[in-house]
């Protein structure tokens, strides 16, 4: 058996096989066409609804086109009617969605999303998780009401200014009654009495020495 005395990469540089530069900026992008490999916390973009099987929930009811969302779990595969169905779960939702509706590639060109008012009669407090009002709020904010670190338990919207969202995304004539009351209280004149000037309350020297009731006069 012979031993290799040494290896110099320069001797073989010309023999290296060429490869295709695919131009991916992240590892997640390289797996775009292989959603089975997608993992928890991967960022995905909603491309728009395709014709789904009845097994999947309707993406168009809750997601905004070309906005990013985060995977709540690894992609799962189940057997349904004798066929294998992969599906994704998104933070802040409870649906099973077709991976083909999403991509791990960022959209390079600009995409303007028109603000939609979906929560027509917003309640005074943030809606309960997965209620109809919650789903409307989720789509209206493109998922920003829960951020990207929400696992579906213990809903916490403390980082989301719900009242501010309702106030600044609607015209005054669209304000609910509870918001009108808040604004009216903010604009009401203050009932606090102004502080009395200390200089006015103190006895001035000229009055002290000329007061006939002063025993030292």
**Would you call 29 exposed, middle or buried from its count of C-beta atoms within 10 A (0-12, 13-18, 19+)?**
middle
**DSSP3 helix / strand / coil % (the chain, rounded to 5):** 30, 10, 60
Length of the chain: 217
Q: How confident is the model at residue 9 (pLDDT cuts 50, 70, 90)?
A: very low
Q: Quick check: 190 pLDDT over 60? A: yes
List pLDDT tens digits, range 84-135: 999 999 999 999 999 999 999 988 777 777 889 999 999 999 998 899 999 9
Q: How far, CA to CA in Å, does 116 sit from each of 67, 122, 140? A: 14, 14, 6
Model confidence at 149, pLDDT cuts 50, 70, 90, reads low
pTM confidence score: 0.75
Predicted confidence (pLDDT) at residue 212 exceeds the cutoff of 80: no
* CB neighbour class for 148 (10 Å; exposed up to 12, middle 13-18, buried from 19): middle
What Å distances lie between residue 30 and 25, 44, 68, 74, 101, CA to CA? 8, 13, 17, 16, 17
> What is the rounded distance in angstroms from the CA atom of residue 72 to the CA atom of residue 174?
35
Alpha-carbon span 87 to 93, nearest angstrom: 13
Note the pLDDT of residue 19. Answer: 40
pLDDT of 17-73, one tens digit each?
544 456 677 888 999 999 999 999 999 999 998 867 889 999 999 999 999 999 999
């Amino acid at each position: 058996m012979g031993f290799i005395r040494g290896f110099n990469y320069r001797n073989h540089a010309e023999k290296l096989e060429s490869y295709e530069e695919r131009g991916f900026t992240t590892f997640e992008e390289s797996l775009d066409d292989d959603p089975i490999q997608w993992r928890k916390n991967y960022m995905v973009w909603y491309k728009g609804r395709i014709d789904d099987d009845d097994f999947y929930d309707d993406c168009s009811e809750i997601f905004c086109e070309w906005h990013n969302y985060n995977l709540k779990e690894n992609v799962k595969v189940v057997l349904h009617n004798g066929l294998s169905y992969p599906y994704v779960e998104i933070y802040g939702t409870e649906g099973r969605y077709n991976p083909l509706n999403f991509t791990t590639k960022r959209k390079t060109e600009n995409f303007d999303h028109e603000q939609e008012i979906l929560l027509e009669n917003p309640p005074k407090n943030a809606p309960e998780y997965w209620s109809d009002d919650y789903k409307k709020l989720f789509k209206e904010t493109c998922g920003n009401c829960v951020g990207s670190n929400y696992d579906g338990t213990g809903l916490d919207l403390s980082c989301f200014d719900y009242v501010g969202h309702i106030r600044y995304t609607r015209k005054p004539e669209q304000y609910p009654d509870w918001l009108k009351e808040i604004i009216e209280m903010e604009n009401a004149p203050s009932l606090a009495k102004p502080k009395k000037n200390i200089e006015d309350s103190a006895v001035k020297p000229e009055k002290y020495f000329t007061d006939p009731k002063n025993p030292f006069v």
